[in-house]
A and B are shown apart, each in its own frame.
Chain A
Amino acid sequence: MTLNTNALIYFLAFCSGFCIMGIELLGGRILAPFFGSSVHIWGSIITVFMLSLSFGYLLGGKLSTQNASLTKYGLIFLVASIMVVPITLFSQPIMEFIFTHIEDSRYGSLLASTALFFIPTIILGMISPYSVRLLVTDSDKSGQVAGRLYFVSTLGSALGTIITSFYFVLAFDVNTIISAFALTLGSLGLLAIVINTLVNKKEVAHV
């Protein structure tokens, strides 16, 4: 990987961190009409996000052992983008169904956040270990690279949290914000694929 593609990978990791926390924060807003806004709502949301991120790390790490490439990295973003879209499209009927079948709003909200956020967050969780695989070239520096990556993606998460909760909710509808996250993830995925193709062409040309 060249210096430029490394910068791209850090940037993408930053954006995925931003989107993950933005979506998590809006989760509370999405669930409230059906399950209230009490502390157990956050219990459900955070549990589901942590659980799916943990599975995502495992899967992403596994995937990175098989011919890792920037194109596959971009594909993860594209899939994540597609998986986020159902949150905007189907959250109402899904929550309505769960609400009418489960009386206890603790388990209702747990099931609803699983239905809405589990799969997209798994995919988003795959990004971190895959980024490490693409960035590390020297095992001596692997810790430093991982540290830098966590720094960048967690900084993204912090900004995603504060900007969404302070400003986005004041300016846009929940679905508009989520769609913007999906669009961002998708475009970044495409960008990674395009750049990888260009870089490969260049390398072929040089040979």
Chain B
Amino acid sequence: MFKYLLLPLIVFSSFTFSEVIHEERSLYRNIIVEETGNLRCLKFNTKSSQTSQSCMYKNDPDKLVFNYTKLTFASLLVIDDPKNVLIIGLGGGTLSNVIHELYPAAKIHNVEIDPAVTKVARDYFNFIENNVVTSSVQDGRIFIKRAAIKKEKYDWIILDAFNGDYIPEHLLTKEFFEEVQSVLAEDGVIAANTFSSSKLYEHESATYHAVFGDFINVSRENRSNRIILAGLKAPPTNEQINVRVKALASRLGKYDIDIKVISEFMDFTKDGQDWPANTKVLTDQYSPANLLNF
């Protein structure tokens, strides 16, 4: 009898009680690695914060935890095999690891401003670095400016530098997007993890539209996350998307990415813009992004 009482208690506790396995204060933030049962998460700032930066199932590290990470792979429905990938904002290194596994020959460069985050990604989230996967500690904007001077090109640029609490405002301006565009290869795409609610949604959409023209919004019905796919020379046709869905479905399944479902979440802004036409574009001169994010 007693063990029947105990059993649900044990199961319950393994889900609710979380344990901090690493904590450090970096130049930019407090970094916390927390384990709740099978789930290991990277958090910034506070223990109670609901916004985890990156999570991993310890017993199944391939499986992606977050929706937005999964939605990012909608990029693969609009470009063919990426060869040169740039990721701004490392987090736990999940995106880099999965892309490397999918395309072992592709060059992947990760840019992260906080050296402590890179270290935690290596130590706690199996962030892989080798001769094709590299990382540098730098401000994303400075990296891209220097890359542009060196005339480097990337065919898949992932912007994932926002952590929910604070937005580096110089990474959300028309001028920045123009710099990103200048390092985008001919058939490349930019995938940005962006804001799904708040007033910033409209300003962000207007700013992307000002630089890239029509783009693709990828988000679920509840709009809890949004990925913007921008910079495409020509949007893919439904047939092209379907062909790619078929080719990718089984390969992405192991990461718990249902690419068929994700393909249905893609909205083309040429079919309708969900922001007012007079929305102010964010520029280096006007970028109060944090004040607009409420």
Contacts and interface: CB of A to CB of B under 8 A. Distances in A.
B141 A33 contact: yes
Contact of A36 (B113, B149, B175): B113
Contacts of A34: 142, 145
A99 interface: yes
Contact of A173 (B141, B169, B176, B286): B286
Contact of A33 (B176, B286, B288): B176
Nearest to B140: A36
A37 B170 contact: yes
Contacts of A36: 113, 139, 141-142, 170
Interface string B1-40: 0000000000000000000000000011000000000000
A39 interface: yes
A105 interface: yes
B285 A38 contact: no
B142 A105 contact: yes
Nearest to A39: B27
A72 B145 CA distance: 45
A50 to B, nearest CB: 22
Interface in A102-116: 105
Interface residues of A, number: 20
Contacts of B175: 33
A115 B175 CA distance: 22
B277 interface: no
Interface in B253-294: 283-288, 291-292
Interface in A143-199: 166, 169-170, 172-176
Nearest to B286: A173
A35 interface: yes
Interface in A71-102: 99-100
Interface string A28-63: 010011111111000000000000000000000000
B168 interface: yes
Nearest to B113: A38
Contacts of A172: 286
A99 B145 contact: yes
A29 B282 CA distance: 13
A143 B286 CA distance: 43
Interface in B119-173: 139, 141-142, 145, 149, 168-170, 173
Contact of A169 (B113, B176, B291): B291
Contacts of A105: 139, 142
A166 B113 CA distance: 26
A34 B286 CA distance: 16
B14 to A, nearest CB: 40
- The winner among B173, B283, B285 for most chain A CB atoms within 10 A is B285
Contact of A38 (B139, B149, B173, B288): B139
A175 B285 CA distance: 7
B37 to A, nearest CB: 36
Contact of B170 (A33, A170, A175, A176): A33
A174 B283 CA distance: 10
Contacts of A35: 139, 142
A169 B289 CA distance: 10
B22 to A, nearest CB: 23
Contact of A32 (B141, B149, B288, B291): B141
A173 B173 CA distance: 13
Interface of B: 27-28, 113, 139, 141-142, 145, 149, 168-170, 173, 175-176, 283-288, 291-292
14 contacts: A29-B284, A32-B169, A32-B170, A33-B170, A33-B173, A37-B139, A37-B170, A38-B139, A99-B145, A169-B286, A173-B286, A174-B284, A174-B285, A175-B285
Given A166-B291, A169-B291, A174-B285, 10 more contacts: A29-B284, A32-B170, A32-B284, A33-B141, A33-B175, A36-B142, A37-B168, A37-B170, A100-B149, A173-B285
Interface of A: 29, 32-39, 99-100, 105, 166, 169-170, 172-176
The 7 A-B pairs with the shortest beta carbon distances in the complex, nearest first, are A36-B139, A173-B285, A32-B170, A170-B288, A169-B288, A174-B285, A33-B284
